[in-house]
Structure 1
């Protein structure tokens, strides 16, 4: 209850954010949060996690896990990723999901807060390999709301699936719209 209250306080202090919709009542899925344009995305996400009492996992660059913030990142569900190491993170992640009774993985398809031209594809391949749906969540800074989408089952047609997912995010304003990805595979 204390942590839920802390999450509600954080969203209130940020201007009275509201949660719209709900998460599915299923044990395993990949959450994608877009457009990731600001460090404030993490604050909104952490507050939402506390309010909903979610047990989630997310990947972050390994340098975020050094003191003094490392303990906080791990306690919030963070998994350090050393990007310079060559390992099959997709299969490693999918294998962990398949073994678990409950697993919610949160990923930002852009992979960074900087302007990018296309989404990364790892989240898609993880969901397909683990045979779980993708749930889109948007942080709409223009209307101060966290919007939960419906679970989406991937068809195997990546272009079509990406366009469908991206359509969900279009009406929602990121913190820095100029940094938002204009399309999942813009050239």
Structure 2
């Protein structure tokens, strides 16, 4: 995978200190840790209701010493911001093409030399949606890596990593359990997220 802000010498430690300091000063609590067995994993990122989720996610990732990559719509990777978005860990997703995103994502995780956490917002949009996309589930299954339930709760200013989610192979039942975990959390735009 390409070099990111999290793997750039000198810059990464400096931004880690700044991120940790900013989160503390603004009242945010960072919780959880990444188990060594989940160094390669897929993160569910929910609720996703605001553009503010990206900078906060990056700061929390620094605080937790993660090496995350995230998927974003291709339009935000256009000139002049494309290079910056990739450096921030972004991977462009062209929703107009029927390319096999699951296979490509799973292959990237499998072939990565070191730790790699792929952040996937299951809602697929910041707008209100009742149905979650299941790409994260199939990426994890194909790559044979665990799913981590990552969260950001603007109501309580808590963000971090929840438990490692054990897949049963019954996607309908698993989705019910996953969404139940996210039920208490509130996005920045609370009315746009439903955990049921």
TM-score normalised by L of structure 2 = 0.86
RMSD, aligned CA? 1.5
1:48-70 C-alpha deviation (Å, 9 max, x unpaired): 12223321111111111123332
Deviation at 1:9, TM superposition (A): 3.5
CA–CA separation in structure 1 for the residues paired with 2:163 and 2:42: 12
Structure 1 residue corresponding to 2:186, chosen from 173, 181, 185 = 173
CA–CA separation in structure 2 for the residues paired with 1:182 and 1:48: 22
Greater mean alpha carbon deviation, residues 136-145 or residues 96-105 = 96-105
Distance 1:12 1:72, change over 3 A: farther
Structure 2 residue corresponding to 1:48, chosen from 52, 60, 63 = 60
Deviation at 1:33, TM superposition (A): 1.0
The answer to whether the 8 Å contact 1:24/1:150 transfers is no
Deviating beyond 3 angstroms after TM superposition, the runs of 4 or more aligned structure 1 residues are none
Q: What is the match of residue 128 of structure 1? A: 141
Do residues 69 (structure 1) and 69 (structure 2) align?
no
Stretches of structure 2 lacking an aligned partner (at least 5 in a row)? 1-12
- Count of residue correspondences: 182
Distance 1:54 1:161, change over 3 A: same
CA–CA separation in structure 1 for the residues paired with 2:136 and 2:89: 17
CA–CA separation in structure 2 for the residues paired with 1:72 and 1:18: 27
Q: What is the match of residue 5 of structure 1? A: 17
The answer to whether the 8 Å contact 1:94/1:129 transfers is yes
1:163-184 C-alpha deviation (Å, 9 max, x unpaired): 111121112221112100343x
Q: What is the match of residue 151 of structure 1? A: 164
The answer to whether the 8 Å contact 1:4/1:51 transfers is yes
Q: What is the match of residue 126 of structure 2? A: 113
Distance 1:53 1:72, change over 3 A: farther
